[in-house]
A = this chain, B = another copy of it.
Amino acid sequence: MISDKMRPLVENNSAIRAMFEEGKKLAALYGRENVYDFSLGNPNVPAPLAVNKAILDILNEEESTLVHGYMSNAGYEDVRDAIAHSLNRRFGTGFRLENILMTVGAASGMNVIFKTILNPGDEVVVFAPYFMEYGSYVRNYDGVLSVVPPDTKTFQPDLKEFELRITNKTKAVIINSPNNPSGVIYSSETLESIARIMKEKEKEYGKSIVLISDEPYRELAYDGAKVPYVTPFYHNTIVCYSYSKSLSLPGERIGYLVIPDEMDDFQELSAAASIANRVLGCVNAPSLMQRVIMRCVDEQVDLESYNRNRELLYGHLTEYGFECIKPEGAFYLFVKTPVDDKEFCQFCKEHRVLMVPGSSFACPSYVRIAYCVSYDQILRSLPVFEKIAVAYGLGGKKEENR
């Protein structure tokens, strides 16, 4: 019954989602408090109070047929205008509402981009470790993923390998900073280098190459770390944004694309993206949530909750002997595994600790631990992590300190 393209997807379903479903089963079996589910990037921090207040105000102040009705496929003009102005205030950009296309979250935004620009066989370059769904999004339009191997020392992009992977078939490059799963942030210097390489390759091959900046974690940066805005570095940049994490609204499916004026064929490209949003069946981003964004455009979740989790988990795991770079952003630890990552995940699952193997991010021998969970869950999980460390003979700093 199902299509040939769906077959491998069904056979090899998302490890993240499989873990999520597994977590629900285990919680039903052993009680939620006895399962340490670090599998899914599902924020535990509630949406800012301003979100629910905005909803109430909108229902009081705006017409039902406006709030719940159709609008242009690209979204409400006033919402897009508010977002453009907010970006301009924060990053010194010069966007107009015409540069903003409201989308059903970032995942849908990426599908809109790929539907808009990919011909079959076109290559899209990604840097490992990367969010594995990128592969599905690209293959939806018969594109081919080209993976730059990870630099597991720094988890920064390996620019030499990157340069080698841009061919005359390359249509786009995806970057994701702050990064899922490593938590690293790309510096201005890194972005400059990426832009320089891409400009040279555009000239060499005489074609446009799009830089897609997937930014659901933009607002989640710790210790005052700066996340440079990408569009000033490179003319053919599309920003793919989501409020899933910045406002803790992952289920609401609300985000946007920024398609700047300076992109090649801007008019045609933005018209096409708006049509792609419609024909892929989204039609438009959810209307009430668009109107909420207009009123909450500069709001943000309580970052300190995530930061406390980060410090607690990073501090203890490294103390137990696990190896891990300290994440500057997002809400994941990407930890080296003492054995094969799938075997390690299986062992941890037997201790009711759920996380996602690095293989799922094209970076085996690591494991992703999502710390967007309650502080209490982390506290309760620590003895289990210590037991796991001991079982693998990690010993770590504790040993050294003796």
Quick check: B52 and A272 within 8 Å, CB to CB? no
A391 to B51, CA, bound (A): 54
**Copies assembled:** 2
Q: Which residue of B lies closest to A248 (CB)?
A: B68
Given known A10-B275, A47-B68, A69-B42, contact A3–B116 (CB-CB < 8 A): yes
| B72 engages A46 (CB within 8 Å) | no
A390 within 8 A of B: no
State how many angstroms separate the Cβ of A17 from the closest Cβ of chain B: 7
Interface residue A263 (Cβ < 8 Å from any Cβ of B): yes
Decide: A1 and B208 in contact? CB cutoff 8 A: yes
Q: How far is the CA of A20 from the CA of B74 in the complex (A)?
A: 13
A115 at the interface (CB under 8 A from B): yes
Known: A59-B55, A72-B21. A3 touches B118 (CB 8 A): yes
Complex contact B2–A68 (CB within 8 A) = no
Closest partner residue, chain B, to A105 (CB atom): B283
Asked if A304 lies at the interface with its beta carbon under 8 angstroms from chain B, I say no
The one of B3, B110, B250, B285 that contacts A69, using a Cβ cutoff of 8 Å: B250
A3 touches B141 (CB 8 A): yes
Give A4's nearest chain B residue, CB to CB: B119
B47–A104 CB distance below 8 A = no
14 CB-based A-B contacts, threshold 8 Å:
A1-B208, A10-B268, A10-B271, A10-B272, A43-B69, A46-B64, A51-B64, A56-B59, A68-B249, A104-B104, A104-B282, A104-B286, A105-B282, A250-B283
Q: Are A70 and B268 in contact (CB under 8 A)?
A: no
Over the window 23-35 of chain A, the binary record of Cβ atoms lying under 8 Å from chain B Cβ atoms (1 yes, 0 no) is 0100000000000
- Whether a CB of chain B sits under 8 angstroms from the CB of A379 is no
Point out the residues of chain B lying under 8 angstroms from A104, CB to CB: 104, 253, 281-282, 286
Measured between alpha carbons, how far is A92 from B251 in the docked complex, in Å?
A: 32
CB of A87 closer than 8 Å to a CB of B: no
Known: A10-B272, A111-B280, A282-B282. A52 touches B42 (CB 8 A): no
Cross-chain contact A65 with B253 (CB below 8 angstroms) = no
Partner of A288, one of B20, B279, B288: B288
Given A116-B2, A263-B1, A282-B253 contact (CB < 8 Å): yes
Contact A279 B140 (CB under 8 A): yes
A264 close to chain B: CB less than 8 A: yes
Return the contact of A9 from the options B13, B136, B249, B279 (Cβ within 8 A): B279
**Residue A399 interfacial (CB < 8 Å):** no
Q: Which residues of B contact A68 (CB under 8 A)?
A: 47, 51, 248-252
| Complex Cα–Cα for A119 and B193 (A) | 41
Q: Which residue of B2, B116, B279 is within 8 Å of A117 (Cβ)?
A: B2
A147 at the interface (CB under 8 A from B): no
Q: With A269-B2, A278-B17 given, is the CB distance from A287 to B251 under 8 Å?
A: yes
Assuming A6-B116, A13-B271, A70-B251, what are 9 further A-B pairs, CB within 8 angstroms? A1-B263, A3-B118, A9-B279, A47-B68, A56-B56, A67-B251, A111-B281, A252-B287, A253-B283
A108 within 8 A of B: yes
